[in-house]
Amino acid sequence: MKSTLFAVIAVGVAACSTPRDPNALARKVKGCEAAFRAATTPEALAALTVTDERCHAPLDASAVGRSNTKTLDTKYFQVWTVRRVKAGAPIGASRGCDPWEDALDLARTARSRSALATVDRSAHAKAIGSFEALVFVSDEKAPVSTGGGTFTPGALRGRAFVYDYGAGRVVCAGDIDTASSESVPVRYRYHEMNVLDEEWKRNLAAPKALERDLEAQLRRAITTQLKRVR
C-alpha cells in the first residue's frame, strides 16, 4: 500500500527537605536512579495491574483532528521523552534524573546554605511533572519514501509504560498499535528556476518528515491508548 506525501514508562521524584550539604543531593541522585531501576524490572512491570481508567499523566499530545503542523511542532517533541526498547532487551539507565545531577554539580560550588537551598528547589521543580515513556517494541516497520511524492507507511506495535519521576513509579501502561498518517507534509526550500533542484530537495526532506510523523503518531497513541495502573 502506498500513501501520498503532502508537499512507555513515566517516573516521578518525591519532595523532600532542603539539603544541608552536597552529600544530600548526591543521595537524591542515587535515590532517583534506584527508584527507576526498581520500578522497571521485568518482574515489577509484570506485577502492575492495569485499570480501565485513562492515563492521567499530562503528556500533552496533539489532539486527533489537528493539523500536521501542530502535530509536528518542535515543542511537542520536547515535552517528554520516549525511549524505544526491543522486546526482551535491557532498558538501561534512567534518563530523568538530570535535574538532581545538575543540581549536584551546582551545589559543589555553592557558597552558602541559601544558595544550596535555591539549587535544591530548582531541581525539585524540574523533576516534578517529568515523565518518560518506555516502549517495548514487538513489531516495527519504518516508513519509506518511494519517490514521486508517495511513500510506504510505517507501523509500530508494542507495550508502553509511563514513569513519573515526581512520584518515583510507573503510573500508566498499555498496548500500543500505531501507523503513519495517510498524508505527510514535507517542507523544503529550492530554487524555483531549477526543476531538478525541487525534486532533489523533496527527496532529501521526505525521510525525516516521515520519521517525525511516525514519532508523532506513537506519542499520540501513548497518550490515548494507555491506562492508569495500580
Q: Are 76 and 212 in contact (CB under 8 A)?
A: no
Q: In what order do the strands lie in the sheet with 3-6?
A: 144-147, 150-152, 3-6, 183-185
Distance CA 39, CA 170 (A): 7
pLDDT in tens, the chain (230 residues): 555 443 333 333 333 444 446 677 778 778 889 999 999 999 999 999 999 999 888 776 544 444 444 444 444 455 678 899 998 888 988 887 776 666 666 666 665 566 556 656 655 555 556 889 999 999 999 999 988 788 999 999 999 999 998 889 999 999 999 999 998 888 766 667 666 666 657 777 888 889 989 998 998 899 889 999 98
pLDDT score at 7: 36
pLDDT at residue 5, as a whole number: 46
Three-state DSSP state, 174: strand
65: left (phi over 0), alpha (psi -120 to 50) or beta: left
In Å, what is the CA distance from 2 to each residue of 55, 183, 199, 206, 212? Answer: 33, 10, 19, 14, 18
pLDDT the model gives residue 206: 84
Cell of 113: 546554605
What is the reported pLDDT for 196?
Answer: 61
**Global confidence as pTM:** 0.74
Helix axes 98-107, 22-39, angle to 10 degrees: 170
Residue 169, phi then psi, degrees to nearest 5: -160, 165
| The predicted structure's pLDDT at residue 218 | 92
What's the confidence (pLDDT) of residue 136?
96
SS3 (DSSP) at 22: helix
